[in-house]
Amino acid sequence: MIELRTPNEIEQMRPAGRFVAETLTALADAADVGVNLKDLDALAHELIRKRGAESCYIDYHPSFGAMPFGKVLCTSVNDAVLHGLPHDYRLKDGDLVSLDFAASVDGWVADSAVSVIVGAPRDEDARLIGTCERALVAGIAAARSGNRIGDISAAIGAVAHADGYSVNTDFGGHGVGRTMHGDPHVPNDGRAGRGYPLRPGLVIAIEPWFLQTTDRLVTDPDGWTLRSADGSRGAHVEHTIAITDAEPVVLTAR
């Protein structure tokens, strides 16, 4: 069911957006050569505890997950792009890591992701991240009352295709509110003018993610981490936004 939020409810969602944004900034700053993915998850745990927030991930067990996630942060490294389960791995020079974090504050959820390069960047990795970030900006710009979900999808896909990337539409953006994942689904490619009409009060996560040379995914033995089928690297960015009568409000702006 698609729910629309009142202006007062959107204001109540702002603290969750700020907390998620601040936490991702701290995690991105902490991601350095030699840092263990488990340490990044532990930092996210500590920030949740200090804020009195609640994790959206630790007990999360959708149909595609092998078991409850059990961590509070997704850490996807190099050829991993989504749902990366933190494990005993120390980041190396040149690693591309995507950090995806969602939390609930006072009963309202925000969800966001960022991709960073640890140490010396590869040109192709910086280009991939740049494409994801520009696609996110384009998707947000299309998230206006009177448009449709397809306008967001088409804007994201156009940026990807212009840079030579193919797009997987199995996983994408989604509704956000009292829970992390709700309707509507927001694919990262589509046809303008199609899909659910955007109305003031709709709160969604927009999350472009692309792989360098494929659009096919495989699942790790851990039952969660999604990797490129050909070993090429991936990047993922995301913001939670609210549709208004005017410009969209980016609740997780960093």
Distances in whole angstroms, Cα of residue 40 to Cα of each of 17, 27, 223:
20, 6, 20
3-state secondary structure of 7: helix
Q: Which residues contribute to the annotated binding site for substrate?
A: 83, 181
| DSSP letter assigned to residue 197 | B
User: What DSSP string describes 9-57?
Assistant: HHHHHHHHHHHHHHHHHHHHHH--TT-BHHHHHHHHHHHHHHHT-EESS
Output the known binding site for a divalent metal cation: 100, 111, 174, 207, 238
Orientation of helix 149-162 relative to helix 123-141, angle to 10°: 160
How many angstroms separate the CA atoms of 75 and 113, rounded? 10
Nearest of 69, 53, 61, 57 to residue 108 by alpha carbon: 53
Cα separation, 131 vs 133, whole angstroms? 5
Residue type, 190: G
List residues forming the annotated binding site: 83, 100, 111, 174, 181, 207, 238
CA dist 50 and 218 (Å) reads: 36
